[in-house]
Amino acid sequence: MRQKTETGHSAAPVSRRSILGTTLPAAAWLSSRSSASAAEVSTSSARTTAIDSVLQNAVHSGSLVGATVLVSEHGKIVYERAFGSADREAGIATQTGTLFRLASMTKPVICVAALALMEQGKLSLDAPVTQWLPDFRPALPDGRQPVITIRHLMTHTAGLGYGFLEPETGPYHRKGISDGLDHARLTLQENIARIATVPLLFEPGTAWHYSLAIDVLGGVIERVTGLTLPTAIRTLVTGPLGLTSLAFSIPQGTPIAVPYADGGTGGAIRMTDPFQLKFGPGHIVYSPSRAFDPAAWPSGGVGMVGTAGDYLRFAEAIRTGGSGVLKPESVAAMTTNAIGTLPVGAAGPGFGWGLGVAVLTDPTRAGLPLSPGSWNWSGLYGTGFWVDPARELSAVALTNTAVAGMSGSFPRALRHAVYTA
């Protein structure tokens, strides 16, 4: 029987099941384990209650419209529920299988594809980007054109930027560069060409700055494989892992969570198309309809959609050693801090950066209950995930509310709730 949340929407019952196996209700799973202790049952119940409370409070307060959260531990799903609305105005409840716009949760998928190509000997971490994109030669303000490597792209140390992180008069705006969330009528190659005309923010390798670097990496992947980026990702990552919902575009009319934006004291507001959301010194420009346009240029930084279940399978595939898509040593390189003590502004204190993900180096400084070496990232549509290898734990939280689902009180409270003992 499905349980009812306090919002009146159905929530999937907690279950223990293999990530790739069949569902086994929690009661049956517990009864099948003679060694299951009362302490284990109590911990599971406390955690479920804590997570439920965080989600109910977020939806009831209006800070979130809808959310799906999945948590796995030791390869078994220990929490799988949906709260709130996929379409508030139409009265459509969020389900555990609801499709969401993933935004920057796209980046780790692209980086896994790049690492797979390295294992095939077709790409090299420390090779210059110009080996595949000969015209990509952005200069420093003094006119010098430094070497930018694939490593620089994957670690966000190339000196590139993002339009939404600069004022409206900034160079990325003046050059008409797309951040990938808008519906600019460009090709991937045209956008990369425009990026190359903007002066670098710093000498590559000397600082960390969140950027369109993974979009440039997507262009490299296209050149290496001779395929479009969607086809390359399907061939290298999502196809082998059976992640059928992860895609760059979906057919018109496909059900997907309606996006909303922070609305202050009045609660979240439904996005128009396009929609601008104030963020730091500038604005994030969203075009939700982009997901339905197969002709939209494929953004390796923010362009994919998917379900929480498929993204959890992706995270677990990497956590458990690559699942045949990557070798364990590639997984280790991806999920280990690769930038020393460079500050990672977008992640905050206590974090470093690997080859595509933020890596927790100091939980105390970060104020988080996760283990050192945990890795994660999030997306501007209100999405996030993390993996705690020491605990064999992976969690995915997809919401349709930007940016409250990504940063602020909700994701922090959720992390603490998942570690409730």
Active site residues: 104
Look up tokens 């599971």; give the residue.
Answer: 44
DSSP letters of 315-354?
HHHHHTT-BTTB-HHHHHHHTS--STT---TTT-TTEEE-
SS3 of residue 266 by DSSP: helix
Tokens representing residue 173 in the block: 């705006």
Tokens representing residue 297 in the block: 């240029």
Per-position b or e across 76-110, b if 16+ CB within 10 A of its CB: bbbbbbbbbbbbbeeebbbbbebbbbbbbbbbbbb
Contact 111, 214 (CB under 8 A): yes
Q: Is 265 exposed, middle or buried (0-12, 13-18, 19+ CB in 10 A)?
A: exposed
List alpha helices for 87-212, DSSP H: 106-119, 150-154, 171-174, 188-195
Which residue pairs, CB below 8 angstroms and at least 24 apart, start in 49-53? 49/420, 50/416, 50/417, 50/418, 50/420, 51/79, 51/81, 51/414, 51/417, 51/418, 51/420, 52/5, 52/11, 52/81, 53/417
Cis bond before residue 146 (omega within 30° of 0): no
Phi-psi map region of 367: left, alpha, beta (phi>0 left; psi -120 to 50 alpha): left
What are φ and ψ of residue 125, in 5° steps? Answer: -60, -40
Which residue pairs, CB below 8 angstroms and at least 24 apart, start in 409-413? 409/63, 410/54, 410/58, 410/63, 410/64, 411/378, 411/384, 412/367, 412/368, 413/54, 413/57, 413/58
Cα–Cα distance measured from residue 280 to residue 277, given in angstroms and rounded to the nearest whole number: 10
